[in-house]
Amino acid sequence: MNKNKLDWGNLPFGYIKTKMSFFANWKNGEWDDGKLTKKHSVKLNECAGVLQYAQTCFEGLKAYTTEHGDIVTFRPDLNAERMENSCRRLEMPVFPKDRFIEAVLRTIEANKDWVPPYGSGATLYIRPYMFGSSSVIGVKPADEYQFRILVTPVGPYFKGGVKPIKVRISDLDRAAPYGTGDIKAGLNYAMSLHNIVDAHKNGYAENLYLDPATHTYIEETGGANIIFISKDGKLVTPKSNTILPSVTRRSLVTVAKDYLKMEVEERKIDKKEIGNFAECGLCGTAAVISPIGEIDDHGKKIIYNEGKQEMGPYLKKIFDTLTGIQMGRIEAPEGWIYTIL
């Protein structure tokens, strides 16, 4: 697709081939130098570890054009650290943090013309990922791996922008107790595909999962963390060792504490509590914050923000502050913003 023909203000959240991708190969116990490529296809043996045993993990972050015209990205160091954890848990070689950040910045710069303009509502989505590339037939880690970065311009993750969405509490699990729920493994997302398709068929934007051990406590959805605002204005987030440590959620917590002087609680949230909160939303790189207007708990409907078709006042303040930091309207904490151009 020709970038000059893109309608930046109406992009889908989907894949569009851009100019360059990055790749590096692990072989004989070390990473090669890696390089940018105009080729966007991957050639694999039919018995590759990723195809046989789903040995793959990934990350997601974005690049933005600020109001000053700079091209920047947001906290890639945290994505590098999270991918390190994913690799270790999946017995994959770690791609070094400094090289990860350098590769992200190089790939953004090589695709600078694909970074959407300021004010369009679109961003450049960045997808670093790694997979077992050598053939494996017995159940064991692969011997060779490829680390890649693709980028694609995207519109909002949830259509309709910041209009409240409807979610349901699921009877199924997205993770196992003491399993891999806290890493960004591809298999975790494959586990949720059937359930999200069913949710969409029944009019829900997402599934809200409970803790897999007791089905008592709120965890997250298939693709985002969840946050609540209490009636007295506290930001409350679930605490669990089976949810993904979201970069966005951690940033929102800092924004709430340090910029807005809000009280923050990170704790277990019993399912019975969810009707006591004033506001609720999903958060993640793709959506930043998507307000939840309704949670359906097996026919019992919990309504937030008095049923208004807009983001609640506290979530709006947090959202505006974080996006203001990302877009250069508000001064960022040290180390949060990496400027490419």
Please state, in angstroms and rounded to a whole number, the distance separating the CA atoms of residues 130 and 152. 17
CB 167 within 8 A of CB 205: yes
17 is catalytic: no
CB 7 within 8 A of CB 122: no
Please state, in angstroms and rounded to a whole number, the distance separating the CA atoms of residues 332 and 321. 10
Smallest CA-to-CA distance from 248 within 93, 59, 85, 120 is with 59
Q: What is the DSSP letter of 239?
A: -
Q: Which of 3, 27, 43, 184 is catalytic?
A: 184
Residue 14 corresponds to which tokens in the numbers above? 């989907």
SS3 309: coil
Long-range contacts, stretch 295-299, CB < 8 angstroms, 24+ apart: 295/166, 295/167, 295/168, 295/169, 295/208, 296/166, 296/167, 296/168, 296/169, 296/204, 297/168, 297/169, 297/271, 298/169
- Indicate which residues carry an active-site annotation: 184
